[in-house]
Amino acid sequence: MEPGNQTEQSPRRTPANPLLKRPAFWALAAEEKKTRMGLLGECLRFAVVYLVGTLLQSLLVSIPMTAAALRNLRDGVFDEAIRSGSIQTMVLKMAEQLPDWMTIVVLFCSAALGAAAIYHCRKKERRSLASMGLIRRGLLPELIAGLAAGLVFFAAVVLLGRQVGAYTLSRIFPARREAILLALALIGCLVSGASREILLRGYFAPTLNATLPVVPVLLTSTLMSLFLFGGAEMSALTVGNTVLMNLALCILTIKRGSLWAAIGLQGGWLFCLNFLFGFQIADGDRLGLFRVDSAEYRTLLTGGVNGPESSICATVVWIVVLAAVLALPQKNAAGSPAENAL
């Protein structure tokens, strides 16, 4: 071939490798999903599923709560409050007299939220559990690793707060009965964490069916974070930390290709917040191996009435966690999610 006939070929550009790739279980969800709606329609349908799950949870919680209230009423616990004629006084007295195990019951009842999401996916969208990130491969290792990470991350918040004078820490030696309650509480926190992850990252994020996971990540980490945070007194730090936490959890499910690590992480975080460190967010003492007392008038560092989740210490920790999760390599599991289905 003559030199004049040679055509100069331009070098091929290597396609940019996106920071986040759509995980295999999202792709499976896109294949299996039978009903498709626009973004607004999917958000409205999610709201219905969430409200149904919340209603079921409230109904389940009301059964043991009513039984405990009736027992206290029989024992004359509310006589003084009833004589006062104040409904607010009676409600406060009722809340103070609830047994320690009621918080654990509420955690287990939160399974209704996850059950509502699973029912919708299975019956309405015709999706398998594998398309929700509930796969068999790596279940225990991922769950245990996530649980350990959640314990470490929350401990980092407490230790950082202690270093800056926000918290004082003291050791508690629980009785045998309390130790049993703590073990049940750990399981309950995992159930609660699983329900949230199944709802947000198992059902809602994959159903958005985005080629790149930017939209589901942002949507489930911002709008839905506020939606789930409903009744709390929200500050800017409360909102910001909730968004950071959900960003990290959503990206973690994408990187690991399943929900198990995120379920463990959220369960460990909830266990530390509500039980292990015995934070007193509402009136009354809490179970715990440690007691943490917050410094007064330092709400930026302590989180105030909302606890450490609304503190600047948590902000620092979640920024570090988010950076670490982004640096994780994306896992390519052997076999398709359908082959590893539960």
Residue 338 lies in a domain: no
pTM of the shown model: 0.83
| pLDDT beyond 90 at 301 | no
What's residue 191's pLDDT?
96
Highest-scoring range by mean pLDDT, 1-10, 135-144, 271-280: 135-144
> Rounded mean pLDDT of 40-56?
91
Residue 341 lies in a domain: no
Tokens in use for 231?
């009744």
Give the count of domains, the chain. 1
| pLDDT beyond 70 at 224 | no
Q: Which amino acid is at 151?
A: L
Angstrom CA distances, 337 to 57, 137, 141, stand at: 30, 9, 17
Mean pLDDT over each residue of the chain, to the nearest integer: 79
Helix ranges restricted to H, the chain: 24-32, 39-74, 79-84, 87-96, 101-109, 111-119, 139-163, 176-197, 205-207, 214-221, 223-229, 236-256, 260-271, 299-302, 312-327
What's residue 71's pLDDT?
72
Name which of 114-128, 153-167, 274-288 the model is least confident about. Answer: 274-288
The residue among 176 and 191 whose pLDDT is bigger is: 191
pLDDT digits 0-9 by tens, 83-140: 555 555 555 555 556 666 788 888 999 999 999 999 999 998 899 999 999 998 889 9
Residue 248 lies in a domain: yes
Tokens in use for 207?
């159903």
Residue 340 lies in a domain: no
Whether the Cβ atoms of residue 294 and residue 167 lie closer than 8 Å to each other = yes
Dihedral sign, Cα of residue 260, residue 117, residue 110, residue 322? positive
> Rounded mean pLDDT of 159-178?
77
The residue among 300 and 5 whose pLDDT is bigger is: 300
Element (H, E) at 167: strand 167-171
What's residue 120's pLDDT?
94
Residue 12 lies in a domain: no
Angstrom CA distances, 66 to 60, 101, 113, stand at: 10, 14, 21
Residue 159 lies in a domain: yes
User: What span, in angstroms and rounded, lies between the C-alpha atoms of 279 and 271?
Assistant: 11
Residue 119 lies in a domain: yes
Neighbours of 68 (CB within 10 A): 17
Residue whose C-alpha is closest to residue 174's, from 291, 98, 287, 285: 287
User: What span, in angstroms and rounded, lies between the C-alpha atoms of 292 and 308?
Assistant: 10
User: What span, in angstroms and rounded, lies between the C-alpha atoms of 340 and 335?
Assistant: 7
Site of tokens 């105030």: 304
> Rounded mean pLDDT of 63-67?
81
Q: Name the DSSP class of 293.
A: E
Q: Which amino acid is at 209?
A: N
Residue 85 lies in a domain: yes
Domain that holds residue 59: 22-327
